[in-house]
């Protein structure tokens, strides 16, 4: 399978799964309701986050918060396409990471466009200490970022046989 098809399948699958689960959630639970899955550890909740990650700027004026997140999301998506063009055809792990981030960004952008906030539903906690609620899109963004970070630390790129050592030492 070629790179564009692989990336499209991953990104569309992530965005679609994210949106389908959110459609079900909005139909099944009123906002702020929750279902205990593992009491004291994990619940399904219906939360609406008007901000960014960890509710960044959630309390900011909507008149500039929404345009800010639309512009930031659009720029991130454009940059992801740029980075994807730089990834070699054989680097499937990097393609998966970037496509997962892309699908997550698209999933959350759809929420902002339709609802003015991102629907979150995964609530992990210990007693009364809660991690901020998140969703499938956020999960793939986080997984993709971890993969990119790990790749940058631990994977050494092989030198192209046609490239001289003098060119790589610059």
The residues annotated as belonging to the active site are 120, 138
Residue 126: which residues within 8 A CB-CB, separation 6 or more?
40, 41
CB proximity list for 118: less than 8 A, separation 6 or greater: 48, 49, 50, 108, 111, 112, 135, 137
What are the E-state strand segments in 26-140? 34-38, 42-49, 118-126, 129-130
């Amino acid at each position: 399978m070629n790179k564009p098809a692989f990336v499209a399948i991953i990104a569309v699958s992530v965005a679609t799964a994210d949106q389908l689960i959110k459609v079900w959630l909005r139909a099944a639970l009123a906002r702020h309701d929750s279902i205990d899955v593992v009491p004291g550890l994990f619940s399904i909740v219906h939360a609406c986050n008007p901000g960014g990650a960890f509710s960044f700027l959630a309390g900011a004026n909507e008149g500039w918060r929404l345009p800010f997140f639309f512009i930031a999301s659009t720029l991130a998506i454009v940059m992801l396409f740029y980075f994807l063009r730089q990834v070699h055809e054989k680097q499937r792990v990097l393609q998966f990471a970037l496509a997962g981030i892309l699908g997550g960004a698209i999933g959350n952008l759809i929420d902002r466009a339709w609802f003015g906030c991102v629907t979150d539903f995964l609530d992990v906690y210990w007693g009364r200490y809660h991690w901020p609620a998140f969703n499938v899109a956020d999960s793939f963004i986080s997984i993709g970022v971890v993969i990119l970070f790990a790749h940058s630390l631990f994977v050494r790129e092989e030198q192209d046989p046609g490239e001289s050592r003098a060119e790589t030492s610059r």
